[in-house]
Amino acid sequence: MKIIKLAERKKIIRAAELLYNSKNAIALTGAGISTESGIPDFRSESGLWKKYDPDIYSNIRSYIKDPTKFWKLAEKIAPTLFKAKPNAGHIALSELEKMNIIKAIITQNVDELHQKAGSVMVYEVHGNINRFNCFGCRASYTKDQVMRKLKKEKQYPPLCDICAAPLKPSVVLFGESLPTFEIYQSQALAQKADVMLIAGSSLSVAPVCNLPLYTLQERGKLIIVNDEPTYLDERAEVVIHHKTGKILPLIVEEIKRMKSESESESTS
Protein backbone atom coordinates (compact mmCIF):
# COMPACT_ATOMS: atom_id res chain seq x y z
CA MET A 1 0.00 0.00 0.00
CA LYS A 2 1.33 3.44 -1.00
CA ILE A 3 2.08 5.80 1.90
CA ILE A 4 0.05 9.03 2.03
CA LYS A 5 2.47 11.84 1.14
CA LEU A 6 2.16 15.42 2.40
CA ALA A 7 0.91 16.62 -1.00
CA GLU A 8 -1.85 14.03 -0.87
CA ARG A 9 -2.72 15.00 2.72
CA LYS A 10 -3.28 18.56 1.49
CA LYS A 11 -5.53 17.30 -1.28
CA ILE A 12 -7.50 15.19 1.21
CA ILE A 13 -8.04 18.29 3.36
CA ARG A 14 -9.10 20.33 0.28
CA ALA A 15 -11.53 17.59 -0.78
CA ALA A 16 -12.95 17.48 2.76
CA GLU A 17 -13.39 21.28 2.79
CA LEU A 18 -15.23 21.22 -0.53
CA LEU A 19 -17.56 18.47 0.62
CA TYR A 20 -18.08 19.95 4.08
CA ASN A 21 -19.09 23.32 2.61
CA SER A 22 -21.24 21.86 -0.17
CA LYS A 23 -25.03 21.98 -0.42
CA ASN A 24 -25.68 19.40 -3.12
CA ALA A 25 -22.71 17.06 -3.29
CA ILE A 26 -23.08 13.74 -5.11
CA ALA A 27 -20.77 10.82 -5.82
CA LEU A 28 -20.17 9.08 -9.14
CA THR A 29 -18.60 5.65 -8.79
CA GLY A 30 -17.23 2.99 -11.09
CA ALA A 31 -15.74 -0.48 -10.99
CA GLY A 32 -12.58 0.82 -9.25
CA ILE A 33 -14.37 1.33 -5.94
CA SER A 34 -15.17 -2.39 -5.83
CA THR A 35 -11.77 -3.85 -6.75
CA GLU A 36 -10.77 -3.79 -3.06
CA SER A 37 -13.80 -6.02 -2.45
CA GLY A 38 -12.27 -8.57 -4.84
CA ILE A 39 -14.32 -7.70 -7.96
CA PRO A 40 -12.05 -7.04 -10.96
CA ASP A 41 -12.70 -3.89 -13.00
CA PHE A 42 -12.82 -3.93 -16.79
CA ARG A 43 -9.93 -1.93 -18.10
CA SER A 44 -6.96 -2.02 -15.74
CA GLU A 45 -4.11 -4.59 -16.03
CA SER A 46 -6.00 -7.20 -13.98
CA GLY A 47 -9.34 -6.16 -15.53
CA LEU A 48 -11.83 -8.57 -17.07
CA TRP A 49 -11.31 -7.33 -20.62
CA LYS A 50 -7.73 -8.62 -20.56
CA LYS A 51 -9.22 -12.13 -20.28
CA TYR A 52 -12.55 -11.87 -22.07
CA ASP A 53 -13.34 -9.98 -25.26
CA PRO A 54 -16.14 -7.47 -24.50
CA ASP A 55 -17.31 -7.75 -28.11
CA ILE A 56 -18.13 -11.39 -27.52
CA TYR A 57 -19.23 -11.37 -23.91
CA SER A 58 -20.71 -8.00 -23.17
CA ASN A 59 -22.47 -6.96 -26.29
CA ILE A 60 -26.22 -7.22 -26.79
CA ARG A 61 -25.81 -8.48 -30.37
CA SER A 62 -23.63 -11.36 -29.17
CA TYR A 63 -26.11 -12.07 -26.40
CA ILE A 64 -28.95 -12.36 -28.90
CA LYS A 65 -26.83 -14.59 -31.16
CA ASP A 66 -25.68 -16.91 -28.40
CA PRO A 67 -26.96 -16.33 -24.84
CA THR A 68 -25.29 -19.58 -23.73
CA LYS A 69 -21.82 -18.05 -24.18
CA PHE A 70 -22.83 -15.10 -21.99
CA TRP A 71 -24.24 -17.37 -19.27
CA LYS A 72 -21.08 -19.51 -19.24
CA LEU A 73 -19.01 -16.40 -18.52
CA ALA A 74 -21.60 -15.24 -15.94
CA GLU A 75 -21.22 -18.62 -14.21
CA LYS A 76 -17.48 -17.91 -13.79
CA ILE A 77 -17.83 -14.31 -12.62
CA ALA A 78 -21.04 -14.51 -10.56
CA PRO A 79 -19.68 -16.27 -7.44
CA THR A 80 -17.09 -13.47 -6.95
CA LEU A 81 -19.79 -10.82 -7.37
CA PHE A 82 -22.29 -12.56 -5.11
CA LYS A 83 -19.90 -13.13 -2.22
CA ALA A 84 -18.24 -9.68 -2.31
CA LYS A 85 -18.60 -7.45 0.73
CA PRO A 86 -18.45 -3.63 0.83
CA ASN A 87 -15.01 -2.20 1.55
CA ALA A 88 -13.86 0.93 3.38
CA GLY A 89 -14.56 3.09 0.27
CA HIS A 90 -18.23 2.04 0.07
CA ILE A 91 -18.61 2.51 3.83
CA ALA A 92 -17.05 6.00 3.69
CA LEU A 93 -19.61 7.06 1.06
CA SER A 94 -22.50 5.73 3.12
CA GLU A 95 -21.16 7.69 6.11
CA LEU A 96 -21.12 10.82 3.98
CA GLU A 97 -24.79 10.24 3.14
CA LYS A 98 -25.64 9.75 6.84
CA MET A 99 -23.84 13.03 7.58
CA ASN A 100 -26.13 14.64 4.95
CA ILE A 101 -23.14 15.63 2.80
CA ILE A 102 -23.54 13.28 -0.16
CA LYS A 103 -27.12 13.53 -1.43
CA ALA A 104 -26.93 10.61 -3.86
CA ILE A 105 -24.60 8.11 -5.51
CA ILE A 106 -24.72 7.51 -9.24
CA THR A 107 -22.99 4.21 -9.86
CA GLN A 108 -21.93 2.30 -12.93
CA ASN A 109 -21.52 -0.76 -10.76
CA VAL A 110 -23.94 -3.64 -10.83
CA ASP A 111 -22.74 -5.30 -7.61
CA GLU A 112 -25.10 -3.60 -5.08
CA LEU A 113 -22.19 -3.00 -2.68
CA HIS A 114 -23.21 0.63 -2.04
CA GLN A 115 -26.59 -0.51 -0.75
CA LYS A 116 -24.93 -3.30 1.26
CA ALA A 117 -22.72 -0.61 2.85
CA GLY A 118 -25.85 1.29 3.91
CA SER A 119 -26.22 3.92 1.16
CA VAL A 120 -29.86 4.62 0.33
CA MET A 121 -29.99 7.10 -2.56
CA VAL A 122 -28.23 4.97 -5.17
CA TYR A 123 -28.93 5.30 -8.89
CA GLU A 124 -27.69 2.27 -10.81
CA VAL A 125 -27.23 3.50 -14.37
CA HIS A 126 -25.92 0.14 -15.65
CA GLY A 127 -28.41 -2.13 -13.87
CA ASN A 128 -28.00 -4.72 -11.17
CA ILE A 129 -26.66 -8.28 -11.22
CA ASN A 130 -29.21 -9.49 -8.66
CA ARG A 131 -32.28 -8.94 -10.86
CA PHE A 132 -33.16 -10.74 -14.07
CA ASN A 133 -35.60 -10.11 -16.90
CA CYS A 134 -37.11 -12.26 -19.59
CA PHE A 135 -35.82 -11.25 -23.00
CA GLY A 136 -39.27 -11.96 -24.47
CA CYS A 137 -42.14 -10.87 -22.18
CA ARG A 138 -39.96 -8.79 -19.76
CA ALA A 139 -41.17 -10.76 -16.70
CA SER A 140 -38.80 -10.19 -13.81
CA TYR A 141 -37.04 -12.82 -11.73
CA THR A 142 -35.02 -12.63 -8.51
CA LYS A 143 -31.55 -14.09 -8.17
CA ASP A 144 -32.91 -16.91 -5.98
CA GLN A 145 -35.55 -17.84 -8.55
CA VAL A 146 -32.91 -18.00 -11.30
CA MET A 147 -30.54 -20.02 -9.09
CA ARG A 148 -33.34 -22.53 -8.40
CA LYS A 149 -34.15 -22.76 -12.12
CA LEU A 150 -30.50 -23.37 -13.04
CA LYS A 151 -30.21 -26.10 -10.41
CA LYS A 152 -33.38 -27.80 -11.61
CA GLU A 153 -33.07 -27.34 -15.37
CA LYS A 154 -29.27 -27.77 -15.59
CA GLN A 155 -29.08 -25.82 -18.85
CA TYR A 156 -28.00 -22.42 -20.19
CA PRO A 157 -29.63 -20.02 -20.72
CA PRO A 158 -32.39 -20.32 -18.11
CA LEU A 159 -35.75 -19.88 -19.88
CA CYS A 160 -38.79 -17.85 -18.90
CA ASP A 161 -41.61 -19.87 -17.26
CA ILE A 162 -44.21 -17.81 -19.14
CA CYS A 163 -42.88 -17.48 -22.70
CA ALA A 164 -39.75 -19.69 -22.80
CA ALA A 165 -37.48 -16.84 -23.99
CA PRO A 166 -33.98 -16.65 -22.44
CA LEU A 167 -33.51 -14.73 -19.18
CA LYS A 168 -30.89 -12.02 -18.87
CA PRO A 169 -29.44 -10.28 -15.80
CA SER A 170 -30.68 -6.68 -15.71
CA VAL A 171 -27.21 -5.33 -16.48
CA VAL A 172 -26.81 -2.97 -19.41
CA LEU A 173 -24.71 -4.55 -22.18
CA PHE A 174 -22.88 -2.57 -24.86
CA GLY A 175 -25.40 -1.65 -27.53
CA GLU A 176 -28.31 -1.50 -25.05
CA SER A 177 -29.87 1.73 -23.91
CA LEU A 178 -29.55 2.88 -20.32
CA PRO A 179 -32.55 2.88 -17.95
CA THR A 180 -34.43 6.11 -18.72
CA PHE A 181 -35.34 7.11 -15.16
CA GLU A 182 -31.82 6.61 -13.82
CA ILE A 183 -30.17 8.49 -16.64
CA TYR A 184 -32.51 11.53 -16.44
CA GLN A 185 -32.22 11.56 -12.68
CA SER A 186 -28.39 11.41 -12.89
CA GLN A 187 -28.28 14.27 -15.36
CA ALA A 188 -30.48 16.38 -13.09
CA LEU A 189 -28.36 15.52 -10.04
CA ALA A 190 -25.13 16.28 -11.91
CA GLN A 191 -26.50 19.66 -13.03
CA LYS A 192 -27.56 20.55 -9.51
CA ALA A 193 -24.34 19.33 -7.87
CA ASP A 194 -21.97 21.93 -6.46
CA VAL A 195 -19.47 19.13 -5.83
CA MET A 196 -19.16 15.79 -7.62
CA LEU A 197 -16.91 13.20 -5.98
CA ILE A 198 -15.78 10.74 -8.65
CA ALA A 199 -14.39 7.50 -7.22
CA GLY A 200 -12.91 4.55 -9.08
CA SER A 201 -13.94 5.26 -12.65
CA SER A 202 -11.79 5.47 -15.77
CA LEU A 203 -14.46 7.89 -17.12
CA SER A 204 -14.32 6.16 -20.45
CA VAL A 205 -17.82 4.71 -20.77
CA ALA A 206 -20.41 7.02 -22.37
CA PRO A 207 -22.81 8.50 -21.51
CA VAL A 208 -21.82 8.31 -17.82
CA CYS A 209 -18.37 9.79 -18.49
CA ASN A 210 -20.16 12.97 -19.64
CA LEU A 211 -22.10 13.50 -16.39
CA PRO A 212 -19.26 15.51 -14.75
CA LEU A 213 -19.52 17.95 -17.69
CA TYR A 214 -23.04 18.92 -16.52
CA THR A 215 -21.56 19.73 -13.10
CA LEU A 216 -18.71 21.76 -14.61
CA GLN A 217 -21.11 23.66 -16.88
CA GLU A 218 -23.03 24.86 -13.81
CA ARG A 219 -19.75 25.82 -12.06
CA GLY A 220 -19.76 22.78 -9.78
CA LYS A 221 -16.42 21.33 -8.71
CA LEU A 222 -14.99 17.88 -9.29
CA ILE A 223 -12.99 15.75 -6.87
CA ILE A 224 -11.45 12.70 -8.55
CA VAL A 225 -10.11 9.72 -6.59
CA ASN A 226 -8.79 7.14 -9.04
CA ASP A 227 -5.52 5.27 -9.17
CA GLU A 228 -4.84 6.31 -12.77
CA PRO A 229 -5.42 9.55 -14.71
CA THR A 230 -8.76 10.34 -16.36
CA TYR A 231 -9.65 12.74 -19.18
CA LEU A 232 -11.09 15.20 -16.63
CA ASP A 233 -8.08 15.43 -14.27
CA GLU A 234 -7.12 18.81 -15.69
CA ARG A 235 -10.56 20.25 -15.04
CA ALA A 236 -10.93 18.89 -11.50
CA GLU A 237 -10.42 20.90 -8.33
CA VAL A 238 -8.79 17.95 -6.55
CA VAL A 239 -7.25 14.83 -8.12
CA ILE A 240 -5.89 12.01 -5.95
CA HIS A 241 -4.26 9.06 -7.71
CA HIS A 242 -4.62 6.48 -5.01
CA LYS A 243 -6.89 3.67 -3.76
CA THR A 244 -10.47 4.67 -2.96
CA GLY A 245 -10.50 2.32 0.05
CA LYS A 246 -7.64 4.30 1.53
CA ILE A 247 -8.54 7.88 0.56
CA LEU A 248 -12.33 8.06 1.05
CA PRO A 249 -12.16 7.10 4.76
CA LEU A 250 -9.43 9.72 5.25
CA ILE A 251 -11.68 12.37 3.67
CA VAL A 252 -14.51 11.32 6.03
CA GLU A 253 -12.14 11.47 9.01
CA GLU A 254 -11.13 15.00 8.01
CA ILE A 255 -14.76 16.12 7.62
CA LYS A 256 -15.55 14.73 11.09
CA ARG A 257 -12.62 16.72 12.47
CA MET A 258 -13.90 19.92 10.77
CA LYS A 259 -17.41 19.27 12.07
CA SER A 260 -16.33 18.74 15.68
CA GLU A 261 -14.05 21.81 15.50
CA SER A 262 -16.90 24.02 14.30
CA GLU A 263 -19.27 22.53 16.91
CA SER A 264 -16.81 23.22 19.74
CA GLU A 265 -16.26 26.77 18.40
CA SER A 266 -19.99 27.46 18.39
CA THR A 267 -20.41 26.23 21.98
CA SER A 268 -17.42 28.17 23.37
Ligand X SMILES: NC(=O)c1ccc[n+]([C@@H]2O[C@H](COP(=O)([O-])OP(=O)(O)OC[C@H]3O[C@@H](n4cnc5c(N)ncnc54)[C@H](O)[C@@H]3O)[C@@H](O)[C@H]2O)c1
Binding site for ligand X (CB under 6 A): 30-32, 34-36, 39, 41-44, 47, 108-111, 126, 200-202, 204-205, 226-228, 243-245
Burial of 78 per CB tally in 10 Å (0-12, 13-18, 19+): middle
Q: Catalogue the long-range contacts made by 181-187 (C-beta closer than 8 Å, 24 or more residues apart).
A: 182/106, 182/123, 182/124, 182/125, 183/125, 183/207, 185/123, 186/106, 186/123, 186/125, 186/211, 187/211, 187/214
Beta-carbon contacts of residue 181 (< 8 Å; ≥ 6 apart): none
Residue 136's binding partner among Zn ion, ligand X, none (Cβ under 5 to 8 angstroms by kind) is Zn ion
Residue 188's binding partner among ligand X, Zn ion, none (Cβ under 5 to 8 angstroms by kind) is none
CA distances (Å), origin 166, targets 110, 144, 188: 20, 16, 35
Nearer to ligand X, 4 or 258 (CB): 4
Residue 44's CB: how many other CB atoms inside 10 A? 16
Minimum Å gap between C-beta 255 and ligand X is 19
Nearer to ligand X, 46 or 266 (CB): 46
Nearer to ligand X, 30 or 169 (CB): 30
Residue 128's binding partner among Zn ion, ligand X, none (Cβ under 5 to 8 angstroms by kind) is none
- Which of these is catalytic: 114, 126, 241, 242? 126
Q: Judge whether 173 and 55 are in contact, CB under 8 Å.
A: no
Handedness of CA 143, 149, 150, 156 (dihedral sign): negative
Minimum Å gap between C-beta 157 and ligand X is 20
Nearer to Zn ion, 160 or 171 (CB): 160
Minimum Å gap between C-beta 208 and ligand X is 7
Nearer to Zn ion, 160 or 255 (CB): 160
Residue 202's binding partner among ligand X, Zn ion, none (Cβ under 5 to 8 angstroms by kind) is ligand X
Residue 137's binding partner among Zn ion, ligand X, none (Cβ under 5 to 8 angstroms by kind) is Zn ion
* Nearest of 199, 246, 197, 256 to residue 87 by alpha carbon: 246
Q: List residues near Zn ion by CB under 5 A.
A: 134, 136-137, 139, 160, 162-163, 165
Q: Is 126 annotated as catalytic?
A: yes
Q: Judge whether 117 and 152 are in contact, CB under 8 Å.
A: no
> Known catalytic residues?
126
